Amino acid sequence: MTINLRPTLTKKAMKKSLLIIAIFISAAATAQDMTSKKGTPILPEAGDWSIGVGANSTLEYFGNLMNGNNNAPSFDWANNQIITGKMMKDENTAYRAYVRLGLGSTKAEMQDVDTDGDGFADIDSAEVKTSATNIALGAGLQKYRGKGRLKGIYGAEAMIMLGGNKTTVTATDYDSENKAGSTFGFGVRGFIGAEYFFAPKMSLGGEFGWGISLESTGEGENTTTQSGTTTTSKTGKSSSFGFDTDNASGSIILSLYF
């Protein structure tokens, strides 16, 4: 007598088994296929550029869809009014850049102006001018690791910041100029985080950093001329230094590649 240790499959069972195997093979191929149904690459390619925006308001919108207290999502700054972007050097390397060039001024005719801050109007009317400068420039290198849609990221970057402001008041027999000391800031940080590509050339990511920051504000000057008499006073200098961890402003970043 011959004993067959192999189970005998019916045609129906065999077809079912082949179908299951085909499904698993198809799922595995889909998981590794880094293109959309239309053939668009999921991951960014060498030469692609990206812009980063804060995604917190969008995530809050979808999280609050089931309650009655919800606001429409909107684009927000990823980093405090600083334009954030990347350029892909290759599939595993990107150059990061930060830019803010803020120059502004306002002029207004004001009534009952309180010039000394005591809560009472010192002059009836005056022309008030204000101006401000806010400049930030930064650059860094970002590396990717991992396979599939979820990528680990790490790298380093540096940034400098410049700022200052001035207010002048002009009135009959009264002039003043309040000039704040110029501010200079410098920072160097390393970072690590993750980026998930949920759609072709679109990702959500977050990171933590560790680095050094230095900020210094120079001496300011306040000058007042009233009834032919000019008085001048100085404001003190200040500086700060830090060496600590950070979480990139606490933002979830939406990156759009093109």
Q: What is the pTM of this model?
A: 0.75
* pLDDT for the residue 147: 87
Q: pLDDT tens across 79-118, in order? A: 778 899 999 999 999 999 999 999 999 998 877 767 667 7
pLDDT at 197 over 60: yes
Q: What is the pLDDT of residue 125?
A: 81
Average confidence score pLDDT of the chain: 82
Please say if the pLDDT value at position 176 is more than 80: yes
Average pLDDT over residues 216-227: 93
Q: How many CB atoms lie within 10 A of CB 104?
A: 10
Of the ranges 71-80, 150-159, 243-252, the best mean pLDDT one: 150-159
* Whether residue 24 has pLDDT greater than 50: no
Q: Both tokens of residue 62?
A: 């979808």
How far apart, in Å, are the Cα atoms of 71 and each of 56, 64, 79, 80, 186?
12, 9, 22, 21, 36
Least reliable range by pLDDT among 8-22, 37-51, 175-189: 8-22
CA distances from 249 to 89, 185, 207, 209, 219 (A): 26, 17, 10, 10, 29
- Annotate 154-212 with three-state secondary structure: EEEEEEEEEEEEEEEEEECCEEEEEECCCEEEEEEEEEEEEEEEEECCEEEEEEEEEEE
Determine which of 16-25, 134-143, 248-257 has the lowest per-residue pLDDT on average: 16-25
Alpha carbons 248 and 153: distance in angstroms, whole number: 14
Please give the pLDDT value at position 163: 96
Quote the tokens at residue 242. 């830090």
Per-residue pLDDT, averaged over 119-131, amounts to 82
Residue found under tokens 């970002």: 142
> Is the confidence at residue 156, as pLDDT, over 70?
yes
What mean pLDDT is predicted for residues 224-229?
A: 87
What phi and psi values does residue 254 have, to the nearest 5 degrees? -95, 120
Distances in Å between the alpha carbon of 179 and those of 2, 117, 224, 234?
A: 103, 16, 11, 9
Confidence of residue 5 (pLDDT cuts 50, 70, 90): very low
Give me the pLDDT at residue 16, please: 47
Higher-confidence position of 3 and 70? 70
The pLDDT tens digits for 60-88 are 655 565 565 656 656 667 777 889 999 99
According to DSSP, the residues that pair with 177 across neighbouring strands are 168, 223
- Cβ-based neighbours of 243, under 8 Å, separated by 6 or more: 211, 212, 213
By the 8 A CB rule, do 142 and 163 touch? no
Checking if the pLDDT of 33 tops 60, the result is yes
Per-residue confidence (pLDDT) for residue 29, from 0 to 100: 44
Q: Is 138 helix (H, G, I), strand (E, B) or coil?
A: strand
Q: How far apart are CA 6 and CA 13, in angstroms?
A: 14
Q: With bands split at pLDDT 50, 70 and 90, how would you rate the model's confidence at 27? A: very low
pLDDT at position 20: 46
